[in-house]
Amino acid sequence: MDIVLASASPRRRDLLTQMGLSFRVVVSHADEAVDPALPPQEQVRLISRRKAEAAARQVGPEALILAADTIVALDGAVLGKPHSPREAAEMLHRLSGKTHTVHTGFTLRQGARVHTGGEATQVTFRPLTEGEIAAYVATGEPMDKAGAYGIQGLGGLLVEGIRGDYFNVMGLPVCRVGLALGKFGVQPLGGGESR
């Protein structure tokens, strides 16, 4: 089966590879603007559907497309990817010593068949010093990540604990995606594809 990852995220590529799947990447350039009044879990689902639709216009109808979107929510505010080191530092100050929620929405699409799901994970940061925030921002790691941190990298040093799917914090809820793939005939634990 032709599996397409509609994402430029290296973390999502790594996670699909760890799942034992063969796939190709097609970056979809979907509109990611949403009504900020929508709950965060609905925002990510909507954007993942848009990404899947945009990718569908670039690949054949038999391809199975996986698209995803991840955001961080704190006290009702959505923290996306920072646009500058200053914005990254501001986000980390807001997250310091608090618990936030990482929301990921994902969509699987093959022709007219569409499945959209999501996951939410609670992440608690330890209190951070000014020096720690400045040093972390200086690494550049926060710049392409929702909430300005990557749990799988140096950002893991900021995290005191999580409740929920660790991989969701990286950008793809592996368990839920694996189960959803089964609905399309793909069994990651069964050799890749069911016959």
**Residues 26-80: tens digit of each pLDDT:** 998 888 888 888 999 999 999 999 999 999 999 988 999 999 999 999 998 999 8
- Give dist(CA 145, CA 87) in Å, integer: 12
192/157: higher pLDDT: 157
Q: Known catalytic residue: 69?
A: yes
Whole-Å CA distances, 5 to 24, 31, 67, 132, 136: 6, 17, 6, 35, 29
Which residue in 2, 14, 31, 69 is the catalytic one?
69
Q: Does residue 115 register a pLDDT over 70? A: yes
Q: Can you list the domains of the chain with their CATH numbers?
A: 3-190 (3.90.950.10)
- Give dist(CA 87, CA 181) in Å, integer: 37
Contact yes or no for 183/16 (Cβ under 8 A): no
Which among 138, 155, 172 is positioned nearest to 70, based on CA atoms?
172
